[in-house]
Amino acid sequence: MLRNLLPPDPLNVFQKYWQGSKNLWRKRLLILVIALIIFLALVHASVRYIVWPRIEKSKPAIEQLLSKRLGTDVSIDSLQVSWDGLRPQFSIEGLRFSSDNKAPAPLQIKKIHGELSLVSFYYLEPYFHKLYVEDAQIQIKRSTDGAIRIAGILIKNDSDDFSTGNWLFAQNDIQIINTQINLQDYQGKALNTDIKLAEFHLTNGIRKHDALIQAQTPWNDGALELNAHFIHRFGGQAGNWRDWAGEFAWNFSGLQFQKVIQDFDVPLHLLSGNISSKGHISLDSGRPDGGQMTFIADQFRLQLSKEDAAIEFGRLETELTQESDGKFL
């Protein structure tokens, strides 16, 4: 219909103009893509062959930069860097965070190596594709005013600030082996004890998170194991547990109530005995959504106050099942 209404000559001119315009924009787009590829290649080559190798020779500058960024004195015995494929690698021996006084260093790591994620250069913050830590000593301290410091670094204690957790769950793969955690708590009862972390392994996807913790505490004779497989909801924050949905499992044995009440404030007059437990529970938006658990207690004694009679069991075995029906648990 349009071809019949328009004269032949104007129609041919319009078609030639349209085809020429399309070719022109295709050329511009192709030039833009080629220029972007060349730019990215030059940036990658500069970082890989010029910037990254100099880091190994600039250990004092790295120590000074980390000290200023973390707010503590950082020292490194040995630093080596390399490049494998698309990702830069590093290996550090003798990493220490020094305290101002004569107290033991809040962080000592014998060996740490890993691969940086390329997004680190975009955010100018450390993001790891792989991080492996071996033979470490870490101090976690809570002062009387409630301030929490991990390895001497002040952690924000705002209930609505999940930046630390968001950063942790943004790392691709973190594995920590044979670590001793010195736990100091000066709120309530003064607590100063060590927890041996046999293994901590965390793998993260875009929304999927898997975690394994194996530890030995001063409060139980056996081992403690925690497993977690969960995702965080769309639009939520990975560091906010209220946005989690998944399954969490535990297994521990020989937890001694006498040792627990020595270090923690418990609103009971008497609590003694040993307890072991194994189970799993599902969470949906931070709420329990089904689970099963078993508790076994030996020589269990419980007394709420001096006026109440004590409840005693030679052996107590309990199996619990948790179910949800709407908002009802």
Predicted local confidence at residue 2, as pLDDT: 46
Q: What is the pTM of this model?
A: 0.81
Of 228, 242, 315, 230, the closest CA to residue 273 belongs to 315
Query: CA 212, CA 279: separation in Å to the nearest integer?
Result: 15
Instruction: Give the residues across from 136 on adjacent strands.
Output: 109, 179
Predicted local confidence at residue 16, as pLDDT: 56
Q: End-to-end CA distance of the chain, in Å?
A: 70
Three-state SS annotation for 68-126: HHHCCEEEEEEEEEEEECCEEEEEEEEEEEECCCCCCCCEEEEEEEEEECCHHHHHCCC
* pLDDT tens over the chain, length 329 residues: 445 554 555 556 545 554 555 678 887 888 899 999 998 888 878 878 887 888 888 888 888 888 887 778 889 999 998 887 778 999 999 999 886 666 778 999 999 999 988 888 778 788 999 999 999 999 998 888 888 888 888 877 666 778 888 999 999 999 999 999 999 988 877 888 999 999 999 999 999 999 999 999 999 888 899 999 999 988 889 989 899 999 999 999 999 998 988 888 888 888 899 999 999 999 988 888 899 999 999 999 988 888 888 889 999 999 999 998 877 88
Predicted local confidence at residue 100, as pLDDT: 63
Predicted local confidence at residue 98, as pLDDT: 81
Predicted local confidence at residue 14, as pLDDT: 47
- Gyration radius of the chain's alpha carbons: 29
Predicted local confidence at residue 9, as pLDDT: 58
| Coil, strand or helix at 183 | strand
Give the list of residues 6+ apart from residue 79 with CB closer than 8 angstroms, or none. 55, 56, 59, 62, 90, 91, 92
Query: CA 303, CA 311: separation in Å to the nearest integer?
Result: 6
**What burial class does residue 91 get, using C-beta atoms within 10 Å of its C-beta: 0-12 exposed, 13-18 middle, 19+ buried?**
middle
Predicted local confidence at residue 110, as pLDDT: 93
DSSP 8-class letter at 170 = T
